[in-house]
Amino acid sequence: MTNCTFAEINSALRENERFAVLGHVRPDGDALGSQLALALSLKQLGKDVRVWNEDGMLEKYSFLPRAELLTKPPAGPEDVDVAIALDTAIQNRLGTALEVIGSAKIWINIDHHPSNPGYGDLVYIDSTAPATGQILFELIKSERLPIDHAIAENLYVAISTDTGSFQYPNTTARTFEIAAELVRLGVDVGSVSQQVYENFPRRRVELLRELLRTMRFEGKGRVASFSLSLKTAAELAVIPEDNEGLIDHLRAIRGVIVAVFFEELADGKVRVSMRSKNERVDVCAICQKFGGGGHTLAAGARIRGMLAEVEERVLKAICDVVDCNS
């Protein structure tokens, strides 16, 4: 499947009036930063823009410039000319926002997930980009769309969070060039980094303490996992966003190739988050066996079943791939 051009997206943006800018459920910094950045650029073009995410703005990203623009979708249907899905590998991960869009004339799909099937009318998927925010920067630059300090800061957070603060292997020279341009547009690296990485509520660290109690290793230490039950989550009064990134503590262990986080959900499913440190171990492929998806080195799935039972099934599937016996 071939991508459309930035010029085609540009025409759709400039020639229409009413937009909905959407991102995936359980949003991360890339989804929220990308949504706000593109929405702000469209607003500067004088467009009528809605910015909807099923989960609304997360507390921890509420420092993002113009964060108040991003809301939960309304209850009833709303007409727009153009609906734009950002950072959303599969259309149903738009959640309730999808149901609200009545009759968009044009669907635009901009993403960096290799598993994205390319839904929509104008599709631009670059799986080499470390963040959707990086693709948006290229779009804005190439089509001379508006960019200012607020847009730059949203893009910077999108790129910083999806590259693990410029550490993951998907970080390229181009990523640093873009970061430099964003800094020149006024992004204060120290202050933004502090807000993203050093401003967690205490309950997140208390959650980490409980997760580490459940930590286990399979396959001669190549597979590390921990899990969160509904009971523990309730006792600690954690909210879903608290666990973003905690899996990195498992990934950071010497000898670990695959890190897994299991989270029991209220709907009878288990949310599985997976990370790989080795390009030859494709966790997206493993998650796809369970109906999920993502990237080679970071993927996830929602699997029906009891926590303990899902853990065993998934760990076995990983061990089959990682070759835990050698």
Residues that bind Mn ion (CB under 5 A): 30, 87, 132, 162
Q: Answer with the entry of Mn ion, ligand 5GP, none that 30 interacts with (C-beta below 5 to 8 A by kind).
A: Mn ion
Site string for ligand 5GP, 69-98 (x = CB under 6 A): --------------------xx--------
What's the min distance (Å) between Cβ of 112 and Mn ion? 6
Cα separations in angstroms, 91 against 15, 23, 117, 120, 208: 24, 10, 9, 9, 32
Site string for ligand 5GP, 245-274 (x = CB under 6 A): ----------------------------x-
What's the min distance (Å) between Cβ of 132 and ligand 5GP? 10
Q: Answer with the entry of ligand 5GP, Mn ion, none that 162 interacts with (C-beta below 5 to 8 A by kind).
A: Mn ion
Binding residues for ligand 5GP restricted to 201-240, rule: CB under 6 A: none
Per CB under 6 A, the segment of 33-41, 78-86, 174-182, 300-308 that binds ligand 5GP is 300-308
Please enumerate in sequence order all residues whose Cβ is within 8 A of that of 313, keeping only pairs 6 or more positions apart, or say none. 290, 303, 305
**Residue with Cβ nearer ligand 5GP (219 or 294):** 294
Hey, how many other C-beta atoms are within 10 angstroms of the C-beta on 125? 20
Report if residue 294 touches ligand 5GP, rule: CB under 6 A: yes
Q: Which of 277, 289, 302, 313 binds ligand 5GP (CB under 6 A)?
A: 302
Evaluate whether 132 touches 158 at the Cβ level (below 8 Å).
Answer: yes
Quickly list DSSP for 134-182.
HHHHHHHHHTT----HHHHHHHHHHHHHHTTTTTSTT--HHHHHHHHHH
What is the Cα–Cα distance from 213 to 201, expressed in whole angstroms?
A: 20
Per CB under 6 A, the segment of 3-11, 96-104, 221-229, 299-307 that binds ligand 5GP is 299-307
Per CB under 6 A, the segment of 54-62, 209-217, 286-294, 312-320 that binds ligand 5GP is 286-294
* Burial of 290: CB neighbours in 10 Å, binned 0-12, 13-18, 19+: buried
Site string for ligand 5GP, 16-35 (x = CB under 6 A): --------------------
Per CB under 6 A, the segment of 33-41, 230-238, 287-295, 314-322 that binds ligand 5GP is 287-295
Please enumerate in sequence order all residues whose Cβ is within 8 A of that of 302, keeping only pairs 6 or more positions apart, or say none. 265, 269, 270, 271, 272, 291, 292
Give the position of tokens 């010029």.
7
Report if residue 292 touches ligand 5GP, rule: CB under 6 A: yes
Q: Answer with the entry of Mn ion, ligand 5GP, none that 301 interacts with (C-beta below 5 to 8 A by kind).
A: ligand 5GP
Q: Which of 70, 114, 69, 87 is nearest to 28 (CA)?
A: 87
Kindly give the pairing relationship between strand 223-228 and strand 258-264.
parallel
Site string for ligand 5GP, 110-129 (x = CB under 6 A): ---x-x--------------
Phi-psi region of 96 (alpha: psi -120 to 50; beta: other; left: phi over 0): alpha
What is the Cα–Cα distance from 72 to 51, expressed in whole angstroms?
A: 8
Q: Which of 295, 296, 310, 314 binds ligand 5GP (CB under 6 A)?
A: 295
Residues 149-158: b if buried by 16+ CB within 10 A, e if exposed: ebbbbbbbbb
Interface ranges with ligand 5GP (CB under 6 A):
89-90, 113, 115, 273, 292-295, 298-302
